[in-house]
Amino acid sequence: MANSTDCVSSRCSRVFLTYEPSLAGNAVFLALFAILLPVAFALGIKYKSTVFSTALMTGLALEVVGYIGRILLHNTPADRSGFILFLIGTTVGPTFICGSIFFIIPRIITVYGEELRSWRPIWYSFLLQGLATLSFVLELAGGLVSTIQDDQGRVDIGAHVLAAGLAIQLVTLVIVLGHAILCAIAIHTRHHMLDIKFAGIYNSGSFKAFLFAFAFAIALLILRTAYRTIMAAEGYDSSIAQSETLLLVLDGLMVLLAILALLVFFPGRILRDSNAASTDTGGSLQFAAIDPR
Query: What is the pTM (predicted TM-score) of this model?
Result: 0.86
Does residue 289 have a pLDDT over 50?
A: no
CATH code of residue 203: 1.20.1070
The residue that leads in pLDDT, 194 or 270, is 270
Per-residue pLDDT tens for 92-136? 999 999 999 988 887 887 787 766 665 666 667 778 888 999 999
Please report whether residue 284 resides in a domain.
no
Please report whether residue 6 resides in a domain.
no
Using alpha carbons only, give the angle 253, 259, 263 rounded to the nearest 5 degrees. Answer: 140
Please report whether residue 288 resides in a domain.
no
The residue that leads in pLDDT, 207 or 5, is 207
Per the structure, the count of domains in the chain is 1
Please report whether residue 135 resides in a domain.
yes
- Residue pair 40/56 in contact (Cβ under 8 Å)? The answer is yes
Which range marks the domain in which residue 113 is found? 19-270
Residues 6+ apart with CB under 8 A from 139: 91, 92, 95, 162, 165, 166, 169
pLDDT for res 110: 78
Lowest mean pLDDT among 143-157, 248-262, 269-283: 269-283
| Encoded amino acid at 156, one letter | D
Please report whether residue 98 resides in a domain.
yes
pLDDT for res 259: 98
Please report whether residue 222 resides in a domain.
yes
Please report whether residue 249 resides in a domain.
yes
Q: For 2, list phi and psi in degrees, rounded to 5.
A: -85, 150
Please report whether residue 228 resides in a domain.
yes
**Cα–Cα distance for residue pair 251/170, rounded to 1 Å:** 14
Q: For 49, list phi and psi in degrees, rounded to 5.
A: -110, 65
